[in-house]
Amino acid sequence: MRVQQPSLLEPDVPASPPPLLLLACSATKLDQAAPAIELYRGVMYETFRAHRRPDSQLHVIILSALHGFIDADAHIAPYDLRMTHGRATSMLEDLHVAMASATWPARFGQVFLAGGEQYRRVMRAAVTNRSSAQQPTDLIETRGGIGEQRSQLGKFLRNIALEPSERIGVLPNGTPCYRRAGRFVVGDRVRLSYSHLPGVPDKLATIRRIFAGPCGLTAEADVEEPTRGGGITVVGRWVCLHHLQPA
């Protein structure tokens, strides 16, 4: 049996603010000019490329030891300058200049600072500067050795891959419903697959709404069930998003 449809909110309800990743530049670079996110070839950038979903709602800004804060798609040439204590202090003394070249979002949600101690000094100051007009920011920083930092960055990127956004209503118990979560959008036709149950065949389904359920992010979906006579019947079910794949 299908649950009651959510009550719709006003159409101008804003989408949830995107998470913000501040990523330190790396010593390893391409030998020719390129967009910053491609120019840097350090291990943290390997982790970023391995775990970031292109459809995730994530705003990325890079802190360059030479250029200050820059957009991920800023086209820059290779250079050789490291973020020393003195260089970080110089940026902090003229923070508005260091921040001027990046496009900062008007609002942002969770913030992740990825880089060494000197980079994070400057990043913290920039976040404080930008978040003064909004609610207190949920701030996470990398800690430990480079292996631990890579693991922390990967976990952050995996967690936001399905970050829900665009609230569209509520369940009867007050749980918010959303239009999208990562690559999944209400109205999408998807494939329901229980990989831990090899005897259960995949089924097609259509997402009706997305919300946080007992097993995590959940879709209410119309699932196409085969009948004994060879036909198809549509059944409303709650399905954990990790059981869904694009059709």
Q: Token pair of 140, please?
A: 């996470």
Does residue 10 lie within any of the structural domains?
A: no
pLDDT at 195: 64
Does residue 15 lie within any of the structural domains?
A: no
pLDDT at 227: 87
* Whether residue 33 sits in one domain with residue 155: yes
* Whether residue 125 sits in one domain with residue 229: no
Ranges of residues in the chain with a pLDDT under 50 are: 1-15, 136
pLDDT at 133: 56
Does residue 178 lie within any of the structural domains?
A: yes
Summarised one tens digit per residue, pLDDT across range 52-69 is 876 677 899 999 999 999
pLDDT at 48: 95
Q: CATH number, domain at 172?
A: 2.30.30
pLDDT at 34: 97
Q: Token pair of 213, please?
A: 């359920």
* Whether residue 55 sits in one domain with residue 105: yes
Cα(138)–Cα(196) distance, rounded to whole angstroms? 35
How many independent structural domains does the chain possess?
Answer: 2
pLDDT at 241: 84
Give burial (CB, 10 Å; 0-12/13-18/19+) of 219: buried
Q: Transcribe 9-36 into DSSP letters.
A: --TTPPPPPPPEEEEE--S-B-SS-EEH
* Whether residue 135 sits in one domain with residue 215: no
Backbone angles phi, psi at 149, to 5 degrees: -65, -40
Does residue 34 lie within any of the structural domains?
A: yes
pLDDT at 29: 97
pLDDT at 165: 81
* Whether residue 203 sits in one domain with residue 155: no
pTM given for the model: 0.65
Q: Pick the last residue of a domain from 134, 160, 186.
A: 160
Residue range of the domain that includes 234: 164-246
Cα(89)–Cα(106) distance, rounded to whole angstroms? 26
Arithmetic mean of pLDDT over the chain: 86
- Tokens 């200049």 correspond to 97
Does residue 14 lie within any of the structural domains?
A: no
